Chains A and B, each alone.
Chain A
Amino acid sequence: GAGVSQSPSNKVTEKGKDVELRCDPISGHTALYWYRQSLGQGLEFLIYFQGNSAPDKSGLPSDRFSAERTGGSVSTLTIQRTQQEDSAVYLCASSLPPKTGKSGGTYNEQFFGPGTRLTVL
């Protein structure tokens, strides 16, 4: 079946411009995550949406970053007044609601999109 899709796959922009990154999650997945991965680094959590609940925005690095999820499906991550340090791969992941794992705790397997490679000149 269709996986998580993201667009654009690559985005080159000039410092100070705004950019919008789009994520289409797997149909039926209620949870949606945005992460950022800089070269050679691990994934940095940005924001999390679960159903109709208020999003967890605790990972957004500054007020230049915002995200919305319309109709519980497609999500858009917006970066205003881009800076060179915003250059990274932005990954979106979706998942079903949490379940209890064998090692305890609740979790849900995340399925990642191919990412958007953002370059700010």
Chain B
Amino acid sequence: KNEVEQSPQNLTAQEGEFITINCSYSVGISALHWLQQHPGGGIVSLFMLSSGKKKHGRLIATINIQEKHSSLHITASHPRDSAVYICAVRSGETSGSRLTFGEGTQLTVNP
């Protein structure tokens, strides 16, 4: 069993739908990151969470430390949101601590 599990692996939605991607982890963490990988391959950091909830535009990320679970929500989805969304956890406190990544969720938003 992977230390970081994402669901679903693939998700297809219609433009305008509310989307949720889930991430569960099995190790103690100091932070959780959500990343977006564009169809061209570039990776962008969306959020870093250690507790609670963060919002940026139409994206909302939440984390429940006790349940070892995080969700990424996209409101009013748009075709440009089509990408792979990756959850990653950091288990140490220092900036040298390594990240462990989930396999990613492929999101396709149709017009």
Are A and B subunits of one complex? no
B-binding residues in A (CB < 8 A): none
A-binding residues in B (CB < 8 A): none
